[in-house]
Amino acid sequence: MATKLETDGDFHALPDLPADVFTAPLKKPAHLGGDWLEPKQAEYTSEDHAIWNDLFARQMDILPGRACSTFLAGLQKLNLARGGVPEFAQLSEELEKLTGWSVVPVPMLIPDHVFFWHLANRRFPAGNFIRTRETFDYIQEPDVFHDVFGHVPMLADPIYADYMQEYGRAGWKAMRYNRLKALGALYWYTVEFGLILEGQDVRAYGAGILSGPAEAQFAVEAQSPNRIMLNVDRVMRTDYVISDLQPSYFVIESFEDLYHQTVDRDFDRLYRSLPPAFTYANSAVIDVDDVLHRGSQEYLLRGGRGSGALPV
């Protein structure tokens, strides 16, 4: 099953990035090695811990009835309500026991191939810094709140934990075919902004939804966005924006379904058939779509972020 992805090596050594791969350059801070890991987690001030606690309380008001049960269970299993920015070492110890994952500190966005390599080895690179009061509602760079509150509880689930590792392994192949952007779109529409059906209801499992107040309501309830059943081939051809609420969300039936849709797939064939650029706009609804909700796109049509449009 997983063997198709595993033929690319043992994932032990950091791969070289081929010179002609399409990916954004990042400048590595001088004190870091090739793995981009901080030697130890940052020390946080009492104001940093207070910011964490306020962000946490705000999300806990919003998430019941909107977050999926797997996420809420993960928060409990890892005791993330204990208060203050969690210590990665302690978190890793608990996570190791549950699913064999650990959480490691990084200073900023790290290059795709390094990120995939950590995931393939069941290490989750988490932002070391925390946002300020000035950027309380929205930041583009992943900070410790987004990464630890949004992503880590999901890693306490064994199936999801395996999906994330397979995703990292799939990065090798994407690199060889120069299709990292397409694999990035899959990450975006599942790990960051994914929705799941629980009975008749749609719930969020994507960390970008779970870690922000506006997006949690918008993704699950608003009339504007499309909600479409996930189709991996389709999503990997779909453009995405990182600076505003999403015009479309993709919905899975279960985490088993997500795992099998991605892992039981001939990625060689898929990458060979993928064009180098995205085919579909992020607001598009296309013939093959199994549509749960066709969005009005009112929020987008009124100008989106910065226009004062309400996220309806």
Residues that bind ligand HBI (CB under 6 A): 106, 109-110, 112, 115, 125, 127, 142, 184, 187
3-class secondary-structure state, position 104: strand
Q: Which is nearer to ligand HBI, 91 or 222 (CB)?
A: 91
In the sheet with 201-204, reading across from the earlier edge strand, the strands are: 201-204, 195-198, 248-252, 226-229, 291-293
CB of 150 to Fe ion, least distance (A): 6
125 contact, one of ligand HBI, Fe ion, none, CB 5-8 Å limit per kind: ligand HBI
User: Within 13 Å, how many C-alpha atoms sit on residue 48's CB side?
Assistant: 13
DSSP string, 246-283: -SEEEEES-HHHHHHHHHSS-HHHHHHHS-SS--B-TT
E strands of the chain, at which residues?
102-106, 123-127, 195-198, 201-204, 226-229, 248-252, 291-293
Q: Which is nearer to ligand HBI, 184 or 304 (CB)?
A: 184
162 in Cβ contact with 100 (< 8 Å): no
Q: Which is nearer to ligand HBI, 76 or 135 (CB)?
A: 135
207 contact, one of ligand HBI, Fe ion, none, CB 5-8 Å limit per kind: Fe ion
Indicate whether 182 belongs to the interface with Fe ion (CB under 5 A). no
CB of 224 to Fe ion, least distance (A): 22
- The identity of residue 168, as a single letter, is G
CB of 205 to Fe ion, least distance (A): 12
Q: Which is nearer to ligand HBI, 117 or 259 (CB)?
A: 117
Q: Which is nearer to ligand HBI, 74 or 105 (CB)?
A: 105
CB of 219 to Fe ion, least distance (A): 15
CB of 149 to ligand HBI, least distance (A): 14
Q: Rounded to the nearest 5°, which phi and psi values hold at 249? A: -120, 150
- Burial group, residue 74, by CB count within 10 angstroms (0-12, 13-18, 19+): buried
187 contact, one of Fe ion, ligand HBI, none, CB 5-8 Å limit per kind: ligand HBI
Indicate whether 207 belongs to the interface with Fe ion (CB under 5 A). yes
3-class secondary-structure state, position 18: coil
CB of 74 to Fe ion, least distance (A): 15
Q: Which is nearer to Fe ion, 194 or 311 (CB)?
A: 194
Interface positions with Fe ion (CB under 5 A): 142, 207
